[in-house]
Amino acid sequence: MTMDHDHATDTRSADSTATDSDRTVGPDDDDGGRPAPFGLSAFQASAIGLTLLVALGGVVATVPAAAGVSPAPAVPSADAGASGAAAIQSSGPVAPADRSEIEGGFSRATYTGVAGDPIRIRYTADSSDGDEVYLLVGGNRLTDTGQPVGFVDVVKISGSSETTINTRTLGTDASNVESCGLDGTSCDLEFVDENGDTVAKNLSSLPSATGAGGLARPLVPQRYRLAITNGTFIVDDSGVVTPTESADQADLVLEKPEFREDVEVFTSIDTDYLDEDAETESIGQIRENGLDRSAVTKGNRIVLGFESTGIWGALSHFAGEEEELEPGQAIDLDVLTDLLDAEEGVSLRVRQTNPGRNQPRSELDLSRADSEDVKLFVADATELDTPDAPGRFYLVIDTSDGDHFTEDVEPGDEFAVEFALEGTEGERYSFASGREPPAVFNASSTSDGTSAQFPYWTAEDSTVSAEATFTVRERFLRYDHVTDDGELLVESEDGQVTGTTSLLPVREMSATFVNDADDAPFRTESPLEIADGNFTVDVDLDDVSPGTRLNYELYEGSTLRDSRTVIVVGDADNPDELVIDDAPENVTVTEGENLSALRATARNAGGLTGEGELTLTVDNGSEMGSWGVKLEPGESRTYGFGSVTPGLEPGTYPFTLRLDDDTHGGTLVVEADPAKTTLDDDDPSGTDEGEASGNETADTGAGTESEACLLYTS
């Protein structure tokens, strides 16, 4: 599996900073990004001086940056153009007499990566006689402490133009490069002291001060020198290892891993409903076929995204050389399972939070998952701040029944997700002692807490975690407008069935509408469209009268999913709409007479049987009469108010008729009774019987109706 990065967009000079205490590496380093002077014995100085005179007659090699190197799809490239040709110019062949001249150069002055992740080093390197060429890693002195960096390794690089260094395994028994510290690698090395005396012929014989005796823990965030050498080195008393000849030098700056403390959550459709090949789908396709929500429909997939650096070297190791990292593509789930099983301080838990009383909790068990139930993806390059460097991965989990959950997932289940890099204050990860080089994942277990530490946390660090939740819900369609009996209400003008759903947009569904009642029966079919949790079905009902009933059937492919009755209405929000269809604007009555002249026609403009109350108010809003109204769809009926005698003085009064949400206003004129004479009580000339006049009548109630008049209209 190829996983590496060098932050090609983050070109640094040789005085970059990258330590676990943010220490600065200054330009005055004794061994910065370019060859630095070092102390030699008189004999060595004479020999090298003679060689230098010979070399001056040759041509100083200038190597084109990254010439002939084409980046692999998932591997970040070091753009030599970014750092300029000066970063890779050879310092000239300066070799002892018994060693071939070497020439070459790095594509950059500084390679910046993350401790625990792979990083690609690009260069050109060659020797005049075809002898071995080596890459020195480390051995430098730190400017802030004056002490050696505490690590040195020599890697064979003959015949190559790039080396991907897995910083998690470098210096261990599982190093991914041809380290001269491994038993299976044959190297021709020579280490001498400042007097020219041989100190060692291999790394394992070097003094412990050099760091060659074995790492205490995986390579920590720090600056490490890189040098293209011929395999000869000087070791000083403090443990600093310096090449006697280097074609070029650069710096490898490892930074502390970063962790994103949130989990991305979205849902996606089950591959069974897609035409795409499940074996070749990408995380981009999965996202396109889903929604950004934390409620997953039973049978669909929940997608969890996690982001952290410092874990990709371990993932690369578990994947092996045969597994290529392609951005956005799936990789073997066992890669993640192996990481979680190793004592790396990396944990991932998905657990149910609402188990029923006396019921077991459901948990995700990756060791039981197959490739159809759970998939592991690396993020698309476009999603990352450093597109060429892996940093985010996704788990795609099917919520159908399977063995990957300890209990079957059911609608209503709620789950908590936690991804963590473990740390205990005062503790640090360390390799178990007893072998050199150390076993790559053999952590010390001196206490219960130590073995679970993330390798790159310091003693001041504690656990960091990213958490999220998701719920499982049933598969449903919920219609917006239905009767108590479940009949669908569809407006004749808009002609649209609407509602909400837990289904995802990629499902192909259609509805058929059949009308057999009219003179011209019809059948029409419309697709069901889903967007953002809502669905619509459009149907042309312009020529269909309110109250008409249709047969409705919903299909998914050839499978019937729902069957109902559709009632066409004028207003789906008021399907039994009662309206005042006709009423007079002006009504004139004689004082003392009833309101038989006031009649109103009510009509049911909806599609359902409607019930309401028709009321009459006059003047001050007090109710003077009412009718209970019950009409079938399209039915009209006229109601009269002959039983109502207003008892008003002659004058003009406003009146109002109300029926549900409909109102009608008019004017009531009460005229004086011509047969009536009004007598004052204190009139001294009045008589007992009074004087008859043409305006006086007997108040017998004649001419009134005993009850309201009910008229029917067709």
Q: What does residue 203 show for φ and ψ, rounded to 5 degrees? A: -65, -35
Buried b (16+ CB within 10 A) or exposed e, 653-683: bebebbbbebebebebebeebeeeeeeeeee
Any domain includes 55 = yes
Q: Are residues 463 and 533 in the same domain?
A: no
Query: Does residue 31 have a pLDDT over 50?
Result: no
| pLDDT at position 525 over 60 | yes
pLDDT at 685: 52
Calculate mean pLDDT across residues 511-537.
Answer: 89
CATH of the domain at 554: 2.60.40.10
pLDDT of the residue at 312: 93
- Residues 217 and 333 reside in one and the same domain: no
Cβ atoms < 10 Å from Cβ of 120: 26
- Tell me the two tokens of residue 299: 């049978």
Alpha-carbon dihedral sign for residues 621, 626, 628, 632: negative
DSSP 714: -
Q: How many domains does the chain have?
A: 4
**β-bridge mates for residue 614, sequence order:** 627, 659
Q: How far apart are CA 583 and CA 457, in angstroms?
A: 86
The 3-state DSSP class for residue 285 equals helix
Residue 12 within any structural domain of the chain: no
Of 259-273, 278-292, 556-570, the one with minimum mean pLDDT is: 278-292
Same domain as 486, residue 405? no
Which tens digits make up the pLDDT trace of 42-94? 333 333 333 333 333 333 333 333 323 233 333 333 333 333 333 333 333 34
Instruction: Decide if 23 is inside a domain.
Output: no
Identify the H or E element spanning 338: helix 333-341
For the chain, what is the mean pLDDT?
80
Q: Do 452 and 374 share a domain, yes or no?
A: yes
Q: Which residue has the tokens 């009460």?
A: 670
Q: How far apart are CA 201 and CA 222, in angstroms?
A: 27
On the question of pLDDT at 447 being above 70, the answer is: no
pLDDT at 325: 63
Bridge-based pairing of strands 464-473 and 295-297 is parallel
Q: In terms of pLDDT, which residue wins out, 698 or 607?
A: 607
pLDDT bucket at 95, cuts 50 / 70 / 90: very low
Query: Angle at CA 519, nearest 5°, toward 513 and 521?
Result: 25
Q: Which of 569, 588, 617 lies at the terminal end of a domain, its last residue?
A: 569
Residues 343 and 449 in one domain: yes
Same domain for 90 and 200? yes
pLDDT of residue 145 exceeding 90, the answer is: no
Q: Which residues contact 327 (CB under 8 A, 6 or more apart)?
A: 73, 74, 378, 379, 380, 381, 387, 390
Residue 626 within a domain: yes
Same domain, 284 and 412: yes
Could you tell me if 249 and 271 lie in one domain? Answer: no
Q: How confident is the model at residue 700 (pLDDT cuts 50, 70, 90)?
A: very low
> Position of tokens 């849902």?
267
Residue 312, in any domain of the structure? yes
Closest CA to 136 of 232, 266, 262: 232
DSSP state of 405: B
Q: How many CA atoms lie within 13 A of 230 on its CB side?
A: 22
User: Last residue of some domain: 230, 255, 280?
Assistant: 255
Residue-wise pLDDT tens digits, 540-583: 988 888 888 999 999 998 999 999 999 998 888 888 889 999 99
Q: Rounded CA gap, 562 and 559, in Å?
A: 9
* Containing structural domain, residue 112: 42-255
Residues 249 and 201 in one domain: yes
Residues 80 and 156 in one domain: yes
Q: Report the percentage of the chain scoring pLDDT > 70.
A: 77
| Last residue of one domain, picked from the residues 546, 569, 592 | 569
Q: Is the dihedral of CA 341, 258, 252, 22 positive or negative?
A: negative
Mean pLDDT of 343-366: 95
Domain match, 553 and 661 both: no
In DSSP terms, 104 is beta-bridged to: 125
For residues 454 and 186, what is the distance between their CA atoms, to the nearest angstrom? Answer: 33
CB 1 within 8 A of CB 320: yes
